[in-house]
Structure 1
Amino acid sequence: MSHTAHIRSHRKPRRNAPKTALRTGVAGGVLSTIAVAGAAGPAQAEPAASQTIEMPTLTSGLSTAVAASAQATQQVAQDLQMQAQEDAAATTAAKAAKKAKAEAVRKAEARKKAEAAAKAKAEAAERASRTAERTTLSASSGSAAVAASFSTSSSSATGSAASVVAFAQAQVGDAYVSGGTGPNSWDCSGLVQAAFRSVGVDLPRVSQAQSTAGTQVSLSNLQPGDILYWGGAGSAYHVGIYVGDGQFVGAQNSSTGVVQRPLSYDPPSGAVRVL
């Protein structure tokens, strides 16, 4: 017997067997798994069928999205159409307003022209009336006879009458303007009123009232400062101021303006004395 036969070995026990068994088990498990997988291989066709069944669900979701998109597109189209209609309505309203304004301007201009024409016609009628009355007066009595009956006194005016005469003569050459009250344009009654106002006497504004503002005097007994009138007392259509020496000053018409003329130039109908 060897002298080492009873000595225990210090080498660790081999563990190869368990590892081999483990490996064998693992390998077996793998092979079993593969075998099972292989055996289950023909049955793998089921998932494909399952995916095919789920397709309608995807298609349904897509249809919903498409429908929503179509609805949104339709809403946008409706909004655009409504905006276009509103823009068209605004454009139509603007055109109508512009046309109405142009029509209003045209009517205003036409009215203004009509008023101007009416005023011109009235002035022409007034001048024609004066001419007719003067013609009638001349025809009935004769201008020569009427002129002969006027006073031709050459006596100088004094006091307030002299101031009235001086004022009237100072305006000779000024323009005649209907409704004019000076200082450089007058109508007949405006001139007479201003002349007497210069000496502190307030007369009515119009010829009709001025023809009755004082004491009626005969045309054969005139004094400087007397108011001459044409037409009837209270309905006179023209007035002037007697300045002496058979002369008068008056704002006659737009053609002559303010003039000094002999009484025979335009024989008056009567006279009143205020001073």
Structure 2
Amino acid sequence: MSHTAHIPSHRKPRRSASKLALRAGVAGGVLGTIAVAGAAGPANAEPVTETIEMPTLGSLAAGSNLASAVAASAEASQQEALDQSLQTLEQAALKKASQDAKKAKAEADRKAAAERAEKARLKAEKERKEAEEAAERASRTSTRTQLATNSSSNDGGSSSSSSSSSSSDSGSSASDSGSRTQAPTGSAASIVAFARAQVGDAYISGGTGPNAWDCSGLVQAAYRAAGIDLPRISYQQSSMGSSVSLGNLQPGDILYWGSRSGSYHVAIYVGGGKYVGAQNSSTGVVERSLDWDPPSGAVRIL
């Protein structure tokens, strides 16, 4: 067996080429020193037969390429892992965005359906009110026509009555509060017809029609329908004409509450022991019995 010692060339793949070259240079220096020492020694000294096998340039290049390949592989693996992580995050973000979009669409659909239902309800409510108002107007028109017809027939009957009959009727009309069945005639009929046609209208302070009134506004409009102008304020209306007792009322008389010169409420006597007045915001325009709220007095304008 040869006495030559062989140095194995196995090296770690991550050692850089510069380190390998440095080590090769150091080894070369050592060999040079050994050779010089051998030449300066005794002539009969045995020659140095031990040799050291140094790595070749090819092996150095192969090691460098292997280190580069390992580094490139590690970088590729790291990039692949990063790409997979980014892809996972993108998929999660897309999934969440899709879920949020579905929720937003469902909420928008719900709100749209609720708005449509509310619009339909409001439309139906409006149509119902319009139908009720139309029916009420038709009823008032019918009432007004019927009262006007009755007034005309009563006027014709009274003009053909005999003087004795007229005298008897006068006595009966003087006690209208007792019989309470006298039908209005002439201007009184127009006043009563107008007042009754407004029953059901709303009450509003300062209201003068056509669908909302206060007490004096209704009285003023009713008398205007008969061609008679009255002041606007209740105490001014009750100060006009002549005072009459509540036991001698005739249709068309103005009823008042409070003192005659300081009344706070007025209404129109329509016969049969009843009156029509714009009472308050809760009741609106109503027809009531005198017993429901007895007035303080009455005046006669006609």
* TM-score of the superposed pair, with normalisation by structure 2: 0.41
Higher RCO, 1 vs 2 (CA within 8 Å, ≥6 residues apart): 1
* TM-score of the superposed pair, with normalisation by structure 1: 0.45
